[in-house]
Structure formats: C-alpha cells, structure tokens
C-alpha cells in the first residue's frame, strides 16, 4: 500500500524494535468491543438502536484519534482533544445505560486512546481519573472483580500506549540524528581532504616550478648542477605521491623537523636564504605535525609571491604555549589582495584552512605585514592541545 499526504507519511514511517509500525497497530484492540457487538446483534441490550449507533460513533472516534496521534502537530490539535472528549462521553454513556457487561471494555480502549494522545501531567491525571471512574462504574454494575479488572486494565493500557508511541518517536529522532551526524562526518572529511590536497599540491608544485626554472638556467653552463635539480624534482614528485596517498587514507602525520628541512631546500632552490631558530623542550608530535603544515604553507607563499631574499623561522616553547613565527623580507602583502581580505574577512584558502585547524585546538594564526618589511605568519598553540591530524 502506498499512501499520500500525511497519512502516506504515517504508513511509510520506518519502524523500530518494540514500537508500533503505524496507527494500524492499534486497530486490533477494537476486538475488545466484540462482546458489545454480540449484545447488539442478539438484541440483548436495553436499546439495540442506541447501542449500534454508539458502537459506530465510538469506533469512528477511536480510529480518528489514533491515526492523528502519530502526527505530533495533529496530536495536539484542539480537534483531536475534542474528539477524545467526545469518546469519553460516548464511552461512559454506553457503559452506564447498557448495564455494564461487554460495554465496560470501552473504558480501557478510551484509556488507550488517551495514552496515544496525551503526555506529561495531563496523561497521568487523565489515566488516574479514567481508572477510578471505570472501576466505580464496573463495581456498581458487575461487582468488585470487574471493578479491579477495568480499573487496572484502563491504567495499564494508557501507560503502554504512551510508552510505545514515545519509543517509536524516540527511535525516529535517533535515526534522524544518526543521519545528520553521518552527513556532518562526510562534510568534515571532504573539508579535510580538500584542505590537505591544497596544502600538499600547492607546496609541491611550487617547489617543482622553482627547481625546473633552476635546471633551465643551469643547463647551458653547468649540466651536472642542472641534473641535480632534475633529480630533486623527481624526489619531490615521488614524495608528493606518497603524501597524497596518505592524505587520501587519512593517516598522514607530518613532522616539523622534516618540514623545516624541506623549507630550507625549497627556499634555497628559490634563492632565498633561510635561518631557523628553535628553543625550548621538544614539541608533542601532534602539535609538531600541525606546525609543520604552517611551515609548508608559509614556504609555498614565500616561494610563489614574496620575492624575498631572506626568511626566518623561529619556534619557541614556554610552559603553556608553543609559538612559530615565519618572516620574510619580501614585498609583503599585495595591496589589492590585502584590501579584499580585509573587506571580506576571508584570507587566502591555505591560511584560512590553517586558521581553522589551529582554532579547533584553541590556537591562533595571524598573518600580515612584518614590522619592518615583508610578510609574517605567527602561529600560537596551547601545549596541552591534541590536534586532529586527519
């Protein structure tokens, strides 16, 4: 069966263990009315016509209320509450005027409908009232045994209906939450992948371009030196392939020491003198890897844009903070790019990705013109942070 509209949505709602699949799960309880139906067909009621009309009205209201109970918006609608109140009037009118018997079974059914619709204090108060009223009517009509049966049955049926429907809604919410978390994880992985590819390929291609230019310049006058540059290009390419594979699988762990060595090599090939200063105790591996990304991006920007002759990289550690400063003496920020970044609040994609990584562990990344000349990148990270390297 394929439903349409709101009813179709109820019929197709995915089930959960222990929860009713749809409102149809509550319809078999109408079989409790079979005793009353038998009394009407056999004319064993004081007024069969009134009894038949009462049966029809009760069943109609019951189905109407139960189907609306599976939609949170329609469940709390005044029309649903009015239908529930009408069920109460019909139920006790039939139980009293038809002299008890099978007509008393309408009271547990009314309690079940209340459990499907009401929540919180309204549900508790209504169930207690129904159980007490049902036990009273049953006791007056059929004796104390039926009073206990109807009272207890009314209380339990309402509680079970409320519990099953709440369980069903909770399972649906958990499923939706799980799907939302899965989507968030996919988006996070896409961001990691694009960020790593940008950092890896931007740096590697910049080094390859610089070394290729050096090989072209050296070729006519010093073939051996040119071949050394070509060999370096091959090595850089192979390393890049390995790093991309590691980035794809999510297991890439950088090293600040190796990045500093690569920085010296790349900057030297570009004709930029490099000075590295390190002070303080050894850095935790996670923070060292994170700062390695900062060095990589800074070197890429220096080689491609700065026109610098000298770069300084300083790494220092105190009791609670680790600080990396990369400074070059080049042209400094491009005026047009700097104006656009200030207007939009979005620096270059590489620096923006690094700022997001550092912010995730309580760190900061600042970039801009150096005090005297050139460009400066400053990264500051807490010692006790635990970066996610993926």
- H or E stretch at 315: strand 310-317
| pLDDT class of 31 with cuts at 50, 70, 90 | confident
DSSP per-residue codes, 119-173 = -HHHHHHHHHHHHHHHHHHHHHHH-HHHHHHHHHHHHHHHHHHHHHHHHHHHHHH
Mean pLDDT, range 135-150, rounded to an integer: 85
| DSSP structural state of residue 15 | P
* Whole-number pLDDT of residue 223: 83
Which pLDDT score, from 0 to 100, does residue 334 have?
61
CA–CA dist 75, 63 (Å, integer): 13
Integer CA distances (angstroms), 191 to 204, 247, 354, in order: 20, 12, 12
Please indicate whether residue 180 or residue 328 has the higher confidence score (pLDDT): 328
The stretch 125-146 carries a mean pLDDT of: 86
Work out the mean pLDDT of the chain and round it to a whole number.
Answer: 78
For residues 52-70, give the mean pLDDT: 87
The conformation of residue 254, written as its DSSP 8-state character, comes to: -
The residue-averaged pLDDT of 30-42 equals 76
Q: What is the pLDDT of residue 247?
A: 63
In whole angstroms, give the CA distance from residue 325 to residue 367.
Answer: 10
Report the SS3 class of residue 229.
helix
Q: Kindly report, residue by residue over 108-129, the tens digit of the pLDDT.
A: 888 888 888 888 888 888 889 8
Check whether 8 has a pLDDT greater than 50: no
Question: Residues near 309 by Cβ (< 8 Å), separated by ≥ 6?
Answer: 271, 272, 273, 329, 330
In the chain, what is the greatest distance between 2 CA atoms, to the nearest angstrom? 121
pLDDT band at 19 (very low <50, low <70, confident <90, very high): very low
């Amino acid at each position: 069966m394929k439903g349409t509209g709101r009813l179709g949505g109820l019929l197709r709602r995915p089930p959960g263990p222990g929860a009713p699949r749809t409102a149809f799960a509550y319809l078999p309880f109408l079989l409790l009315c079979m005793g009353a139906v038998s009394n009407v067909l056999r004319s064993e009621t004081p007024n069969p016509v009134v009894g038949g009309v009462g049966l029809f009205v009760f069943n109609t209201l019951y189905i109407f209320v139960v189907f609306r109970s599976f939609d949170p918006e329609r469940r709390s609608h005044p029309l649903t509450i009015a239908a529930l109140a009408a069920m109460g009037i019909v139920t006790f009118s039939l139980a009293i005027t038809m002299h008890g018997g099978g007509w008393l079974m309408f009271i547990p059914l009314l309690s079940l409908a209340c459990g499907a619709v009401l929540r919180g204090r309204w549900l508790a108060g209504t169930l207690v009232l129904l159980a007490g009223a049902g036990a009273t009517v049953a006791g007056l009509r059929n004796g104390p045994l039926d009073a206990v049966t109807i009272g207890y049955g009314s209380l339990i049926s309402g509680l079970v209906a409320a519990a099953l429907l709440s369980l069903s809604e909770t399972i649906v919410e958990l499923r939706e939450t799980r799907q939302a978390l899965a989507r968030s994880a996919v988006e996070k992985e896409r961001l990691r992948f694009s960020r790593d590819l940008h950092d890896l390929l931007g740096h590697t291609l910049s080094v390859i371009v610089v070394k290729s230019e050096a090989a072209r310049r050296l070729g006519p006058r010093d073939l051996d030196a040119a071949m050394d540059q070509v060999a370096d290009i091959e090595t850089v390419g192979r390393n890049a392939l390995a790093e991309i594979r590691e980035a794809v699988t999510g297991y890439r762990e950088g090293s600040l020491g190796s990045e500093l060595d690569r920085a010296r090599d790349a900057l030297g090939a570009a004709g930029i003198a490099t000075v590295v200063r390190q002070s303080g105790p050894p850095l935790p591996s996670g923070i060292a890897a994170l700062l390695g990304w900062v060095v990589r991006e800074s070197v890429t920007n220096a080689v491609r844009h700065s026109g610098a002759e000298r770069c300084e990289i300083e790494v220092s550690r105190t009791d609670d903070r680790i600080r990396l400063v990369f400074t070059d003496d080049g042209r400094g920020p491009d005026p047009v790019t700097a104006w656009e970044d200030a207007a939009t609040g979005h620096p270059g994609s590489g620096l923006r990705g690094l700022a997001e990584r550092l912010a995730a562990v309580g760190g900061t990344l600042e970039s801009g013109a150096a005090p005297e000349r050139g460009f400066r990148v400053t990264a500051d990270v807490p010692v006790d942070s635990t970066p996610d390297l993926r």
